[in-house]
Structure 1
């Protein structure tokens, strides 16, 4: 078995096996399917964050500043931007 890309090994330990399923269940039939599904979900969320940011939503503006690429979302492995003034 594989770890869900969104939850990782820590999620597996507590039964979070699949981002798209209830606890203890899986929807994805393989690791490759998990990777494709999560890449699509990251893209969907990234687009939505940016749409809301353009509309002036303050939370979305903050998120758009933090997440410059879809791979930074939901366990995608991309490093998150630290644009906070020190």
Structure 2
């Protein structure tokens, strides 16, 4: 029996200005931007296998880079697109 394959699909970044952050990553990586709707803006790899999603948050608080817990804690939530 073969082992399942997990494919990484996307990372969602909360931010105060999604257009500004998406422009930065699109220029940095040389990838294209795509708007899905008013809420979601993406930067997608040329092979369309990796997607950076940007979600604008009105009362956004940047993450705190310390070991203390706070309202602006750093959270990573990877999303996987399939199991084979």
> TM-score with structure 1 length normalisation?
0.22
**As a proportion of its length, which structure holds more strand?**
2
Structure of higher RCO (CA pairs closer than 8 Å, 6+ residues apart): 2
| Bigger proportion of residues as helix | 1
TM-score by length of 2: 0.23
